[in-house]
Structure 1
């Protein structure tokens, strides 16, 4: 529906990606959680844009550095959603 996303919608979207990661109706669940008239197609497009943004070299380097810091601190990071196969869920 709408192509613009508010800060709040983005946060709900990001949280929903993690919350519903292994559910059978992943995209439907994410769209439902975001609400505000966002369709499954809207959230898939938004995810594809996020993947593209993450694909930028500077951002990849920043994420690599963040993961190294997390590993040193004893944490783990799951910043990747698995590339284009995720968009096919």
Structure 2
């Protein structure tokens, strides 16, 4: 399985839609009747099928990350600027 957040999808999600999606998931839990319709309505511009697919992909991503198969990002050391110099070394 490939890390799906790097794969293309049939529908793109804006940062605003992702934030609305996260908030809606907090409101409409797995026991909520018509959960995906409610989440889709809260997000706007997405069908119930699209939000369910988006959720399933996020679950797959989490499983992949938690299994240790996802590469770790290459973060810069803290306390350095864009040239890699600590504040006192400029």
TM-score in terms of structure 2 length: 0.58
Superposed counterparts of 1:50-89, under 5 Å = 50-56=58-64, 59-60=65-66
Question: Which segments of 5 or more consecutive residues in structure 1 lack a partner in the other structure?
Answer: 63-89
Number of the residue aligned with 1:80 = none
Give RMSD over aligned pairs: 1.8
| 3-state DSSP of counterpart to 1:55 | helix
Say how many residue pairs are matched: 58
- Measure, in 1, the Cα distance between the counterparts of 2:49 and 2:39: 11
- Measure, in 1, the Cα distance between the counterparts of 2:14 and 2:49: 17
| 3-state DSSP of counterpart to 2:18 | helix
Number of the residue aligned with 2:33 = 24
Number of the residue aligned with 1:13 = 21
TM-score in terms of structure 1 length: 0.59
1:12-47 deviations in Å (ceiling 9; x for gaps): 101101101132111110000000x20001101101
- Measure, in 2, the Cα distance between the counterparts of 1:4 and 1:40: 15
